[in-house]
Structure 1
Amino acid sequence: MSYFILFLSYVITAVLSTAQVSQFGGPYRNQVYNETYLLDEWPENGPELVGKISGIGSGYSSPSINEKGLFVAGMLDTIGYLFHFDHAGKLIWEYEYGKEFTSRYTGSRGSPTVEKNRLYYSGTYGDAFCLDASTGEVIWKKNLLDEYGGPLVKWGYTESPLIYHDLIILTPGGPGYNIVAFNKYSGDLVWTIDQENTFNAYCSPVIIEHGGKEIILMNTSNYLMLIEPMTGKVLYRADISNRDNFNAIAPIYHKGKIFYSSGYGVGSKLFKINEADGTLDLIYDNPDLDCKISGMILYEGTVFGAADRKKLWVGVDFETGETLFQSRDLKPGSFLFSDDKFFIFTDMGEVALVKPHKKGFNIISRFTIPVQPASTAFAHPVLYDGKLYIRYLENIWAYRVK
């Protein structure tokens, strides 16, 4: 295999994030980054291109980036690989982890989770493993389908592993093993959850804090669940069953309430944690924001996201459920937030700098990636050390936005 690597300029600067884990969705897995002093507008043709990596194969895996470089998954022929590049664009190692998804939307899905010198990943066919992040050597490996009876869901496993203290949380979806926690050092099974035939629904779980306690918040095919991380005890759950068994977007938690959304016309719901009754009480439904895979961001009381059915951007008042705006000024896509700005990567390959406000957003700058997408661009953008990383299939571009 071959790689074409072009780095036009690179200056090593201090790592800006205080988080010790590099993972899907940024430091807190919610698309919110901590970088500041970013450009308020871009040149007409976009910000300066400072790097490009090609040859990583097909897929929608976003890179995870830390001081050691970039980690990303891709498919070459029919085989999945984990790649590690340093910040100069040099390939440090590659690891062949098994077959990858060859049906519609071929290639890798989830993003690696990197903590210190260990990398964790779960491939589309359930290959879950831990690697030495410096060498790519296997520390432990298992298959979620073979060992825990997980069914191969329609679009394959897309989950990005969650680290909590000494645990790795994953969702095999098998009988008796709907959700599991492994010891992150050994791969030994620590706890399991069995929730009445529920299975993986493409969701990457998050950690929230409620009532002074850290809690796992996630979706399965049937339930929105809040889970005690160290024991696997289900604290609260709500029925979110739908025809497509698709609940990919991690919900948003805010002040005792949880905002859920799913695509294919399902729409959004707000639940309130009822500690007295041990239930999640439905406050409202909103049909306009049916967010499928692009993520949601809560900004100044408004939930922003891309609607799947109508193919537009929507803002919903978190407290009331009122639809505050709907906009077709940009195609739908994924996005992140930092320095009071949205950085949007649309499904059609356009990158936009956007200033949000409670009832909408203003597009400040926009440009199109060098390769016009022949298929939908689903990988989420990543921000690291003043650079915006955009992946489309076998290419990753790095733009200086600071």
Structure 2
Amino acid sequence: MIRTAALAGLATAFLAPFAGADDWPQWMGPNRDGVWAETGIVRTLPKAGPKRLWRVPVAPGYSGPAVADGRVYLTDRRLAPDAKNPEDPFDTKQKVHSTERVLCLSAATGEKVWEHEYDCAYQISYPAGPRCTPAVRDGKVYALGAMGDLHCLDAKSGKVLWSKNFPRDYSAKVPTWGFCGHPLVYKNLVICTVGGEDAAAVAFDKDTGAEKWKALNARDLGYAPPTLIRAGGVDQLVVWHGQAINGLDPLTGKVHWSVGLEPLFGMSIMAPRQAGDRLFAAGIGGAGVALKLDRTRPAVSVVWQETADKNVAHGKPRGLYPVNMTPFVEGGTIYGVDQPGMLRAVDLETGKRLWFTHQPVIGHVEPEDFKGAGSGTAFVVKNGDRYFLFAETGELIIAKLSPKEYEEVSRAKLIEPTGAAFGRKVVWSHPAFADRCIFVRNDKELACFLLAE
């Protein structure tokens, strides 16, 4: 009896951070806006780093974890026996045999609950693994792999309820860097960027997989996720493919507006960010736009815009142009990592640059023309009055961001950077913040750290 009571007490103490806690059921959180609403979170990180609750081995991938109902969902990729990736990460000629997996783990312990594995040969640049964070809604998990395999699975058992293959079903061309548009669940639909004729965006019935609508043609599908905003008195679906940013009716696919926005190499990546009646999107090569959202109808006008130019040696004099991350917009200021690898603050209304620092991205201060941090990445999440930044170095940083300055509060190393990019080791996977914890992964492991006070 005493032994049982003691074990029960230990279990209760271990699971305490997860009691009454919030989920992170999709990419960038409950509302896909990079806001972490939980309270009771540490004000500073311990000098020795936050307590690690568990870590488990996983295979490579860029996809972030999703956390819902006490479980963690993650995708990864395993090479076939004797298979290996090309030495040149830009080599897309070789077909490399492998499998992709959808994993379900206990959020409290990391113990595997189920996995679904399927054959998936890769023929893309930077072929480590899947890119998209699963979306969890109403007892179902929606997971999109790098080669265009979309699976809807039962969240409890892992049973496949329906599936699609975009190249097969829509004659979609696999993008150079694979399919990257994190699935969006909206009402009875799951919306994806797909490709193929009139199918840059496709909505499926979330329960059956039946196509409900398709829309848009694009020479380059791009990599940006479908994004929901509300403006002009209605919900709008924003789809930024490689040639233009578009506003659609999310229930029918009707196109309301379109503005040309063409980054280099078709690399539309960030999720367009709404701030009141403004919408911002930008990408590699100096392509960026701030739009005014009409207050009475689904329409836009251009506030300021820059076009991509590969011949501009040191970038544009205004704006910021992220590669792997989505900026945070607060109080009329954009905070994001620019293409050369520094965190910048930019005035949303004018594009004026306010300050920059490499410190939260690569861990040290460098001049603005520093060349060693190209495509630098740090994921920015707001909690209360401060920000949590997860850097490509595997470090977690608490900081205060304002139009005036970057003020670092504390930092701690959580995980090793295992990916390779431009001569440095990186972690390019968005973490999940849930259960008063952070869940982070690299190409070798998934780990959970306690961030409760």
TM-score by length of 2: 0.81
1:128 aligns with 2:150: yes
* Residue identity opposite 2:358 in structure 1: R
Identify if the C-alpha distance between structure 1 residues 214 and 91 changes in structure 2 by more than 3 Å, giving closer, same or farther. Answer: same
Deviation at residue 257 of structure 1 after TM alignment = 1.8
Three-state SS of the structure 1 residue aligned to 2:303 is strand
Superposed CA RMSD in Å reads 2.2
Identify if the C-alpha distance between structure 1 residues 235 and 81 changes in structure 2 by more than 3 Å, giving closer, same or farther. Answer: same
1:50 to 43, 49, 53: 53
Identify if the C-alpha distance between structure 1 residues 389 and 168 changes in structure 2 by more than 3 Å, giving closer, same or farther. Answer: same
Q: Which residue of 2 aligns with 1:11?
A: 16
Identify if the C-alpha distance between structure 1 residues 277 and 139 changes in structure 2 by more than 3 Å, giving closer, same or farther. Answer: closer
More strand by share: 1
Deviation at residue 98 of structure 1 after TM alignment = 3.2
Is the contact made by 2:236 and 2:250 (CA closer than 8 Å) also made in structure 1? Answer: yes
Q: Which residue of 1 aligns with 2:253?
A: 232
1:340 to 382, 385, 389: 385
Is the contact made by 1:75 and 1:100 (CA closer than 8 Å) also made in structure 2? Answer: no
Q: Which residue of 1 aligns with 2:228?
A: 207
Three-state SS of the structure 2 residue aligned to 1:371 is coil
* Residue identity opposite 2:181 in structure 1: E
Q: Which residue of 1 aligns with 2:167?
A: 145
Three-state SS of the structure 2 residue aligned to 1:61 is coil
Deviation at residue 45 of structure 1 after TM alignment = 2.2
Q: Distance in 1 between matches of 2:17 and 2:398?
A: 24
Is the contact made by 1:355 and 1:363 (CA closer than 8 Å) also made in structure 2? Answer: yes
Three-state SS of the structure 2 residue aligned to 1:11 is helix
Q: Distance in 2 between matches of 1:369 and 1:336?
A: 16
Q: Distance in 2 between matches of 1:210 and 1:278?
A: 7
Q: Distance in 1 between matches of 2:199 and 2:258?
A: 17
1:365 aligns with 2:386: no
Structure 2 spans left out of the alignment, 5+ residues: 1-10, 80-97, 307-315, 362-376, 421-425
Identify if the C-alpha distance between structure 1 residues 374 and 106 changes in structure 2 by more than 3 Å, giving closer, same or farther. Answer: closer
Is the contact made by 2:273 and 2:281 (CA closer than 8 Å) also made in structure 1? Answer: yes
1:271 aligns with 2:291: yes
The percentage of counterpart residues that share the same residue type is 24
Q: How many residues align?
A: 390
Question: How do residues 3-402 of structure 1 correspond to structure 2 at under 5 angstroms?
Answer: 9-11=14-16, 13-17=18-22, 22-54=25-57, 56-77=58-79, 78-87=98-107, 88-99=109-120, 101=122, 103-195=125-217, 197-263=218-284, 265-274=285-294, 280-285=300-305, 287=316, 288-308=319-339, 310-331=340-361, 332-373=377-418, 375=420, 376-402=426-452
Three-state SS of the structure 1 residue aligned to 2:115 is strand
Q: Which residue of 2 aligns with 1:4?
A: none
Is the contact made by 1:171 and 1:199 (CA closer than 8 Å) also made in structure 2? Answer: no
TM-score by length of 1: 0.91
Q: Distance in 2 between matches of 1:179 and 1:278?
A: 18
Is the contact made by 1:9 and 1:51 (CA closer than 8 Å) also made in structure 2? Answer: no
Three-state SS of the structure 1 residue aligned to 2:169 is helix
Q: Distance in 1 between matches of 2:349 and 2:381?
A: 22
Three-state SS of the structure 1 residue aligned to 2:221 is coil
Three-state SS of the structure 2 residue aligned to 1:260 is strand
Deviation at residue 11 of structure 1 after TM alignment = 2.8
Q: Distance in 1 between matches of 2:26 and 2:325?
A: 16
Q: Which residue of 2 aligns with 1:3?
A: none
Cα deviations by residue, 1:153-193 (Å, 9 ceiling, x for unpaired): 10000121111111111111101222111111111111111
Identify if the C-alpha distance between structure 1 residues 97 and 340 changes in structure 2 by more than 3 Å, giving closer, same or farther. Answer: farther
Q: Distance in 2 between matches of 1:254 and 1:299?
A: 7
More helix by share: 2
Is the contact made by 1:74 and 1:82 (CA closer than 8 Å) also made in structure 2? Answer: yes
Structure 1 spans left out of the alignment, 5+ residues: 1-6
Three-state SS of the structure 2 residue aligned to 1:93 is strand
Cα deviations by residue, 1:327-366 (Å, 9 ceiling, x for unpaired): 1222242221112221112122222111122223211111
Identify if the C-alpha distance between structure 1 residues 380 and 242 changes in structure 2 by more than 3 Å, giving closer, same or farther. Answer: same
Deviation at residue 274 of structure 1 after TM alignment = 4.8
Q: Distance in 2 between matches of 1:267 and 1:377?
A: 25
Three-state SS of the structure 1 residue aligned to 2:41 is coil
* Residue identity opposite 1:249 in structure 2: M
Q: Distance in 2 between matches of 1:302 and 1:180?
A: 33
**Which structure has the bigger radius of gyration?**
2
Identify if the C-alpha distance between structure 1 residues 385 and 100 changes in structure 2 by more than 3 Å, giving closer, same or farther. Answer: farther
Is the contact made by 2:101 and 2:117 (CA closer than 8 Å) also made in structure 1? Answer: yes
Deviation at residue 370 of structure 1 after TM alignment = 4.3
Three-state SS of the structure 1 residue aligned to 2:360 is coil
